[in-house]
Amino acid sequence: MSKFQFKQFSIEQDRCAMKIGTDGVLLGAWAPIENNPFSILDIGTGTGIIALMLAQRSHAEQIDALEIDEEAYEQATDNFENSPWNDRMFCFHAGLDEFVDEPEDEYDLIVSNPPFYQEDYKSNNEQRDLARFQDAMPFEDLVEAADLLLSENGTFCVIIPFKEEEKFLELANEYELYPLKITRIKGTPTTEIKRSLLAFSRNKTPDFNTDELVIETARHQYTPEYIELTKDFYLKM
């Protein structure tokens, strides 16, 4: 069952190492669009899920995505072409380093669900490893690229492991990217914080908003907050 059906679009993912997961959906639904972005960039798009969610949510006229893996790039391109927003979406087959070498545009919103396994473990599947491991896209490279490509009043958003949050905030601060909003994710009310959704701006926000989001109270019993966030996308919400 490779096809994943959302309310306004569907995604084929049989050729992608990284399948659709909660992280991508969270970022796609959560990323702030109050600045009415004209242009959006999704770094390491995989299936294209985050870019497609932002196409549904926003009026952005230019939605670009970047994917280094050839199979995933071809599949993301197909997913974009088969969506209602295909005239606004484009996927580049390139690594981040190639893309920032010749930046043609600035973006009002940059999003990324970056690979974040730092452990020294490697599986036998190189494609999955590329998607999974941080050596494929170090956080430093990601933040530096965001600094180069972000428009003056733009927003840069990521979802990362909570244990990496402090380090990521310090790194962003070195590039004068400052927190705008932070949401920490828990699977259930009693589990530890697992993920951090971080939004950054070039302007300091003294009293930026920090909150927590719990996904489930029990197996498949979703919290009202999670339903509210994702109801425009999931068929069963």
In Å, the largest CA–CA distance within the chain is 48
| Domain contains 235 | no
Question: What are the residues whose beta carbons fall under 8 Å from the beta carbon of 162, sequence distance 6 or more?
Answer: 184, 185, 192, 193, 194, 195, 196
Assess if residue 23 is contained within a domain: yes
pLDDT value at residue 124: 65
Place of tokens 């973006």: 107
Residue 103's pLDDT is: 73
- pTM of the prediction? 0.92
65-88: b or e for each residue (b if 16 or more CB lie within 10 Å)? bbbbbeebbebbbbbbeebebeeb
Q: Does 159 map to a domain? A: yes
In a domain, 129, yes or no: yes
**Structural domain total, the chain:** 1
> Which residues of the chain register pLDDT less than 50?
1, 118-120, 134
Helix axes 49-57, 70-81, angle to 10 degrees: 30
pLDDT of amino acid 156? 98
236: in domain:
no
Alpha helices in the chain, H assignment, sequence order: 22-30, 49-57, 70-81, 96-101, 126-132, 139-149, 165-174, 224-230
Q: Domain residues for 194?
A: 3-230
Structural Rg of the chain based on CA atoms: 17
In a domain, 127, yes or no: yes
Geometric angle at alpha carbon 2, from 76 and 78, rounded to 5°: 25
Q: How confident is the model at residue 37, as a pLDDT? A: 98
| CATH of residue 74 | 3.40.50.150
How many other C-beta atoms lie within 10 A of the C-beta of residue 94?
15
